[in-house]
Amino acid sequence: MSFDFTPFFRDDLPGPAKPWGGFPAYNFVGGHSDAASVPATALSEALAAVIARDGKLLANYGIGHGSQGYLPLREYIARMLEDRAGMATEPGQILVTTGSLQAMDLVNTALLNPGDTVIVEDVSYGGTLSRLRQLGVGYIGIPVDRDGMRMDALAQVLAELKEKGVTPKFIYTIPTVQNPSSTIMSVERRQTLLDLAGQYGVPIFEDDCYAELLWEGARPATIRSMDDGGQVIYCGSFSKTVAPALRVGYLVADWPVLSRLMPLKTDGGCGALEQMALAEYCPAHYDGHVAALRQTLKGKCETMAAALAEQFGATAEFEMPKGGIYIWVTLPEEVNTDRLTQLAGAQGVAINPGSEWSADADAGRRRLRVCFAHPGHEEIRDGIARLAEICHAEFGVPVRGANVAR
């Protein structure tokens, strides 16, 4: 007879996981990378070199470098952030995390109680929104245009909240290559955001995981780089630049904040091999690798945009991204992308429905996010063609695609 655990589980747990069913034929979800671009062999060679020197450190928790992570990796991250993002950083201000997801969990755990309020971009990372809901935290979405979060709207929301006596716990922003909109917050707005945050006394949580993937124009200085008061908690990641399976991200914060986040990381440290491999690989190879990756992604983005134009025509509206791995698509009123996601998924075409990437789920019901990084060019073309057919069959649009009536 099987023991019944049901009465032992906490009431507020998320629903059960489903067994892994493999990847769909056309995988436009999540943030998987271009397989051919992953420098797997170079990482493994880098690891061999560092193991030959420092292999004995594996005998120590924390690789013998304490709970903030492998020091040579933190030194590299600090140099990289200074060189590439204009952000002066000390290795002592960095905590290596299991991807940016653990970084986010640490920040949330440190700061959030049920009933708290957080400000987000009105279209935002689904994993952030679902975490906040799970924590019982309310979020307010600020509209985004081509230059990122709209500061007039933010100012108004902050004033209204103050009127009600509410101080948001933080403003969560993905300023550079925003997820899902791929917009880039202008430098002027970054300054205004900092000024508003200072004026209202609200911390900023800057999620910068996609910033390195910008192929048009230079990477803007981070918001944290413009802040000399330590009001910004910053996170970054090697998932999108090197490989998602590595699970190496990092938090950057001033010590009074970092020292409170560190005790919440109760896992005894992040994996040593990734940290050692990256610390050895990056100084010689990272810049060139990212430059090549950007061009690969740009090419796939163009294929995805062409496929959307060809198959959906004017039915699919989107801004052409300047970087990143996603296109954020708006379909006509009559389309429900929750339903489309379900139908397409059953036919091997996986997409992310806009409702999950929108602070106002209803406002996202005719939007969808497609990731072009992982599938090949042909898969992109075939998958989008199939998606258009499924969409037409259910919703009657697009009426024409690839110059034929459906």
Site for a second copy, residues 221 to 240, rule: CB under 8 A: 229-231, 239
Where does this chain touch a second copy (CB under 8 A) — which range of 171-179, 267-275, 312-320, 362-370?
267-275
- Pick between residue 213 and residue 246 the one whose CB is nearest to a second copy: 246
Instruction: Tell me how far, at minimum, the Cβ of 365 lies from a second copy, in Å.
Output: 25
- Pick between residue 198 and residue 288 the one whose CB is nearest to a second copy: 198
Grouping H, G, I as helix, E, B as strand and the rest as coil, residue 250 is strand
Q: What are phi and psi of 191, to 5 degrees?
A: -65, -40
Burial of 278 by CB count in 10 Å (0-12 exposed, 13-18 middle, 19+ buried)? buried
Where does this chain touch a second copy (CB under 8 A) — which range of 7-15, 313-321, 345-353, 354-362?
7-15
**Which member of 257, 279, 308, 384 binds a second copy (CB under 8 A)?**
257
DSSP state of 17: P
Quote the CA–CA distance of 90 and 113 in Å, as a whole number: 30
- Pick between residue 304 and residue 316 the one whose CB is nearest to a second copy: 304
Neighbour count for residue 135 (Cβ, 10 Å): 18
Per-residue string for binding with a second copy, 131-150, x by CB under 8 A? x-------------------
**Which member of 24, 244, 353, 354 binds a second copy (CB under 8 A)?**
244
Residue 403 within binding range of a second copy, rule CB under 8 A: no
Residue 98 within binding range of a second copy, rule CB under 8 A: yes
CB 168 within 8 A of CB 119: yes
- CA proximity to 350, closest of 296, 386, 306: 386
Query: Footprint of a second copy on residues 335-394 (CB under 8 A)?
Result: 374
Q: Is 405 left (phi over 0), alpha (psi -120 to 50) or beta?
A: beta
Query: Footprint of a second copy on residues 270-329 (CB under 8 A)?
Result: 270-274, 277
Place of tokens 């075409």: 349
Query: Footprint of a second copy on residues 40-69 (CB under 8 A)?
Result: 40-41, 43-45, 47-48, 51-52, 55-68
Quote the CA–CA distance of 346 and 323 in Å, as a whole number: 30
Quote the CA–CA distance of 111 and 202 in Å, as a whole number: 12
All residues at 6 or more sequence positions from 38 whose CB lies less than 8 Å from its CB, including other chains = 242, 243
Per-residue string for binding with a second copy, 161-200, x by CB under 8 A? --------xx---------------------------x--
Instruction: Tell me how far, at minimum, the Cβ of 6 lies from a second copy, in Å.
Output: 8
Instruction: Tell me how far, at minimum, the Cβ of 76 lies from a second copy, in Å.
Output: 17
Neighbour count for residue 10 (Cβ, 10 Å): 5
Neighbour count for residue 66 (Cβ, 10 Å): 13
Residue 402 within binding range of a second copy, rule CB under 8 A: no
**Which member of 75, 82, 105, 302 binds a second copy (CB under 8 A)?**
105
Amino acid at 178: Q
Which token pair is 203?
A: 């911390």
**Which member of 33, 181, 303, 355 binds a second copy (CB under 8 A)?**
33
